[in-house]
Structures are given as structure tokens and as C-alpha cells.
Amino acid sequence: MWAQPFPLELVSPYVPACVTPPRVLRRTIPEGDAGTFATLEAMEEVVQGSVCVALTRHFAGHIVNGARSTDARARALKNWLTPRYRFAPDPLELEVITAPDLQLCQYQTYGFLSGDCDDLAVTVAALGALAGLAPRFVVIALEPGGPFEHVWTELETESGWIEFDLVALVQGLAPAQHGTRRAVKILRL
């Protein structure tokens, strides 16, 4: 689709040796914080596989093409994703994590990406890693003593960690960093 391939191996130290990406992960997730951390591990697994998929690599290169600094690459990703993302909740009583390449296939077909916060978080993490930006997941509890219930990705740039909480942005919500409890998961890519 785009004329120039993107030299990802020159840009990103955050791309692991390629593994076959998981298409569907089926697991029992425990309740409470243990379930949150199990979900973060599953999300990391999805990202690890997705950075090896040609479509994900192609989109990352296209989106950040010409952006030299890490700040410019993060801005390019945010500017590309924000108008193309639509919030769609998971089915009741089911946690679904959609791989970034499937999100990007949806974009090619329908012109938008959709999903809940974890779907967007894995897509941002994969595209960010391919653009040479270290990703991490941030989860928060919105109520004091409550369960973790929201996640987003932050990407590291020369200016520091840049928040990609597009769910809050797209839905016009207050920034999520005002949660009462917060945990961070650095991705091992």
C-alpha cells in the first residue's frame, strides 16, 4: 500500500526475536489484583507476537515515517490513532484482548479501530515498540480500595513517559491518572 518500506531494525531496540503471535488466548483469570496482573501478562504476550506481524510493522513505519525524534514519533502515533479509534466494550463476563494486527485489519476494512482500553493499550504498545519507543502498561483503580479497572499504555520519549489514554480522550472523560490506586507493568520485549 505504501511505497517505502520502513527500516524497523534500525529504529527499534524494542522488537524481540519473532514468535508466532497468539491468535486467541483462552485462560481462566483469577479474581482481584491477581486477575489484573494475569491480564497484563496476556496483553504483553499479545504485543510480543504482534510486533512480528508484517501488517503491524508496516503500519508503524507508515505512521511515524519522517518523525526523527522520539517525541515526534509519539505525537505521530497519537495523532494517527485518536481520530481512528472508537470505544467498544467487551461482552459481559468476558475479557477479550484483540491483537494489534487484527485491529489494523479492521481499520483497513472499515476505516476505524475499535475495542476497549486493553485492546487500544496493546495496539499502542506494539506500534510504539516498533517505532523505537519503550512501552509500559499502567492500570488504575477509580475508587479508593476498589479493583483495578482501567489500563492504558505510556511510551518513553526523550521528554519522559507520554500517556496514551485515548479511551478517556475519545470519550471526553477526565484524565485517568487521577485514579486512587496505580500499578505499572514494564513490557519485556
Q: Is the pLDDT higher at 92 or at 134?
A: 134
pLDDT, one tens digit per residue, over 97-136 is: 889 988 898 898 899 999 999 999 999 999 999 999 999 9
Can you give the pLDDT at residue 152? 92
Percent of the chain with pLDDT over 70: 79
Which amino acid would we find at residue 27?
A: R
**pTM for the structure as a whole:** 0.84
- The answer to whether residue 178 sits within a structural domain is yes
Q: Is the pLDDT higher at 95 or at 176?
A: 95
- The answer to whether residue 132 sits within a structural domain is yes
| Helix (H/G/I), strand (E/B), else coil: 151 | strand
State the total domains in the chain. 1
Domain assignment of residue 179, given as a range: 32-186
Of all helices (H) and strands (E), which one includes residue 139?
Answer: strand 135-141
pLDDT, one tens digit per residue, over 48-88 is: 988 988 899 999 999 999 999 999 999 999 999 999 999 98
Q: What is the CATH number of the domain that holds 59?
A: 3.10.620.30
- The answer to whether residue 37 sits within a structural domain is yes
Can you give the pLDDT at residue 171? 62
- The answer to whether residue 104 sits within a structural domain is yes
